[in-house]
């Protein structure tokens, strides 16, 4: 069985700036000061307390400026034109630098251009996900991960609920070697899996595989280093197979976007989850309003769609750029509807949602927001109060975004 882990960085980012010389109506010379406007992108501003920019160079007075948090607009003015100007950008959390980047460039009077400064994460968080499936056939009950090469390594305990449990660290200093020792146990305390390795962690580290020995076979632990906290790696499980769904709840419906905007059906999507340890091939399946539905607006043929074990898939209209599988012309009602995944005569999963004004079982339907339910509450999906309106911003196509978490567990877990 393969396990995956990923280091989630605090928003590795790119800064771009525009140089504008301020010359008014006079002829511009090397003495005319310049101004730098800097725009930030892909920064996790929720975790950043302050931002600093330092600019220095021969023949100019050094400039230091500080902003609270991560402002949407940064500007340095009064810059003397010259060569080899050095800029250093740093982002702070709790007084510590968590991202830093620098660049060297020339400033010419009257010139207007862009500058890019790549920020490198200095700290990150390790999350090692253990896909056990809904039935937990491997029998893993608890475990620990010793992290660090010192005599007193950090001890991380296995947490979470089925189908995916995980180890998660506090903030780690990057650019160092880390020793990993992993042990997984059954409910009686019997050791099931053990493995160890030493890995260098930084924001450029490639994919690394750690193999754990087992009394019942071998599993591999895949460590994937990523700079975007929303990305996940693929899992390939030894001895797993490609097959069609065979049982109820092999696939779970966990998120729907019935009402992306005030009118029309574009950008609608349905999220499903593979709750098995096999790759599910949905060639014989459909997403529909009922098992009897066959028209283009009431049923979507899922031929060519497959879902990796322990992964999500997004079945969306063609306007949804992040879709995994096409929903064709399938539409979701804005008020109340049943939604099923059926494969031939087999009903694999079904849910039914109601209007938010339904007196008996209201669901949190809102325009521009999905409704979603956490994996931990999948058995309670018939209850409207187990669902929540999406709160994470997601771009479905250029220029159009909604609140939801397609492709990931519900982002509104209490």
Which CATH number goes with the domain that contains 140?
Answer: 2.60.40
- Domain match, 83 and 181 both: no
d(CA 57, CA 64): 12
Q: What are phi and psi of 379, to 5 degrees?
A: -75, -10
Same domain, 300 and 324: yes
Which of 100, 121, 142 is at the close of a domain? 121
Residue 232 lies in a domain: no
Same domain, 207 and 275: no
pLDDT band at 112 (very low <50, low <70, confident <90, very high): low
CATH number of the domain enclosing 334: 2.60.40.1260
Q: What is the rounded distance in angstroms from the CA atom of residue 119 to the CA atom of residue 13?
A: 5
Q: For the chain, give the number of residues.
A: 414
- DSSP 8-state class, residue 157: E
SS3 8: strand
**Backbone phi and psi for residue 74, each to the nearest 5 degrees, phi listed first:** -120, 145
The yes-or-no verdict on residue 10 having pLDDT over 80 is no
pTM of the model: 0.57
- Is the same domain home to 31 and 113? yes
Q: Is the domain of 100 the same as that of 187?
A: no
Q: Are residues 101 and 189 in the same domain?
A: no
In a domain, 231, yes or no: no
Beta strands 279-281 and 242-243, pairing class:
parallel
Domain-located, residue 295? yes
CB atoms within 10 A of CB 359: 7
Q: What is the DSSP string of 251-279?
A: EEEEEEES-SSSS-STT-EEEEEE-SSSE
CB 396 within 8 A of CB 290: no
Q: Answer with the one of 198, 226, 254 that is the final residue of a domain.
A: 226
Amino acid 250: pLDDT: 95
Q: Categorize the per-residue pLDDT at 70 as very low, low, confident or very high, splitting at 50, 70 and 90.
A: confident
Query: Domain check: are 281 and 335 in the same one?
Result: yes
Q: Which of 190-199, 242-251, 345-354 has the lowest mean pLDDT?
A: 190-199
Query: Which residues 6+ apart lie within 8 Å of 413 measured at CB?
Result: 374, 376
Looking at 120-129, 140-149, 153-162, 401-410, which range is the least confident one? 120-129
What does the pLDDT look like over 306-321, one tens digit per residue?
A: 998 888 999 999 999 9
Please indicate, yes or no, whether residues 246 and 204 belong to a single structural domain of this protein.
no
Distance CA 371, CA 405 (A): 10
The whole-chain average pLDDT of the chain stands at 80
Measured CA to CA, the distance from residue 355 to residue 172 in angstroms comes to 45
pLDDT at residue 228, as a whole number: 32
DSSP 8-state symbol, 369: B
Residues 218 and 263 in one domain: no
Instruction: Please tell me which residue, 116 or 265, carries the higher pLDDT value.
Output: 265
pLDDT category, 263, cuts 50, 70, 90? low
Do 389 and 257 meet the contact criterion of CB atoms below 8 Å apart?
Answer: no
Q: In which domain, by residue range, is 107 found? A: 14-121
User: Of 103, 121, 139, which marks where a domain is finished?
Assistant: 121
Residue 104's CATH number: 2.60.40.10
Q: Which of 11-15, 133-137, 185-189, 337-341 is least confident?
A: 11-15
Residue 288 domain-assigned? Answer: yes
- As a whole number of angstroms, the distance between CA 354 and CA 381 comes to 12
Residue 8 belongs to a domain: no
Regarding whether 286 and 155 lie in a shared domain, the answer is no
Nearest one of 370, 292, 287 to 330, comparing CA atoms: 287
Please report whether residue 234 resides in a domain. no
Is residue 9, in this structure, part of any structural domain at all?
no
Which residues are CB-contacts of 9 (< 8 A; sequence separation ≥ 6)?
A: 121, 124, 125, 174, 203, 226, 227, 228, 229
Mean pLDDT to the nearest integer, 117-131: 76
How many CB atoms are located within 10 Å of the residue 151 CB?
A: 5
From CA 100, how far away is CA 325, in angstroms rounded?
39
Question: Which two structure tokens, joined as six digits, stand for 104?
Answer: 């060297």
Q: Please give the structure tokens belonging to residue 397.
A: 């196509």
What's the structural domain count of the chain? 3
The answer to whether residues 77 and 197 belong to one domain is no
Task: For residue range 367-382, list pLDDT tens digits in order.
Answer: 999 999 998 899 999 9
Instruction: Please indicate, yes or no, if residue 410 is contained in any of the structural domains.
Output: no
Higher pLDDT, 95 or 249: 249
C-beta pairs of 190-193 under 8 Å, 24+ apart in sequence: 191/215, 192/138, 192/139, 192/140, 192/216, 193/140, 193/143, 193/219
E strand spans, 175-260 = 176-185, 191-201, 208-214, 217-226, 242-243, 251-257
Question: Has residue 268 got a pLDDT over 80?
Answer: yes
CA distance 78 to 320: 46
Instruction: Specify the residue for token string 């306007």.
Output: 319
Same domain, 179 and 65: no
Buried/exposed 241-257: b ≥16 CB within 10 Å, e otherwise? eeebbeeeebbbbbbbb
> How much is the pLDDT for 310?
83
Q: Catalogue the E-assigned strands of 22-68.
A: 34-41, 50-56, 63-68
Say if residue 222's pLDDT is above 90. Answer: no
């Amino acid at each position: 069985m393969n396990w995956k882990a990923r280091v989630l960085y605090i928003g590795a980012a790119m800064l771009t700036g525009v140089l504008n010389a301020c010359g008014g109506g006079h002829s511009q010379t090397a003495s005319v000061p310049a101004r730098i406007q800097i725009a930030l992108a892909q920064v996790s501003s929720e975790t950043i307390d302050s931002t600093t920019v330092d600019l220095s160079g021969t023949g100019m007075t050094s400039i230091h400026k500080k902003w609270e948090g991560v402002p949407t607009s940064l500007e340095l003015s009064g810059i003397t034109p010259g060569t080899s100007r050095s800029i250093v950008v740093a982002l702070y959390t709790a007084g510590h630098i968590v991202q830093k980047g620098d660049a060297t460039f020339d400033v010419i009077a009257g010139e207007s251009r862009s500058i890019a400064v790549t920020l490198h994460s200095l700290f990150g968080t390790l999350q090692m996900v253990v896909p056990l499936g809904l039935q937990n056939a491997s029998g893993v009950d608890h475990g620990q991960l010793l992290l660090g090469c010192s005599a007193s390594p950090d001890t991380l305990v296995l947490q979470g609920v089925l189908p995916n449990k995980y180890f998660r660290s506090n903030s780690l200093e990057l650019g160092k070697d880390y020793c990993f020792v992993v042990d997984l146990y059954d409910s009686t305390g019997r050791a099931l899996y053990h493995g160890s390795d030493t890995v260098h962690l930084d924001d450029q580290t490639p994919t690394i595989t750690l193999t754990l020995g087992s009394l019942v076979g071998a599993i591999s632990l895949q460590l994937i280093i990523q700079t975007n906290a929303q990305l996940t790696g693929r899992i390939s499980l030894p001895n797993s197979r490609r097959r069609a769904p065979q049982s109820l709840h092999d696939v779970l419906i966990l998120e729907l976007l019935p009402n992306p905007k005030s009118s029309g059906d574009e950008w609608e999507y349905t999220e499903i989850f593979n709750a098995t340890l096999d790759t599910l091939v949905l060639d014989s399946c459909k997403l529909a309003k009922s098992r009897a539905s066959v028209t283009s607006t009431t049923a979507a043929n899922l031929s060519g769609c497959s879902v990796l074990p322990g992964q999500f898939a997004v079945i969306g209209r063609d306007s949804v750029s992040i879709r995994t599988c096409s929903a064709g012309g399938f539409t979701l009602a804005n008020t109340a509807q049943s939604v099923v995944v059926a494969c031939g005569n087999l009903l694999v999963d079904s849910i039914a949602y109601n209007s938010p004004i339904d007196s008996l079982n209201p669901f949190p339907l809102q325009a521009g927001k999905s409704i979603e339910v956490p994996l931990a509450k999948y058995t309670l999906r018939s209850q409207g109060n187990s669902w929540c309106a999406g709160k994470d911003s997601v771009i479905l196509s250029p220029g159009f975004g909604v609140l939801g978490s397609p492709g990931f567990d519900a982002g509104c877990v209490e």
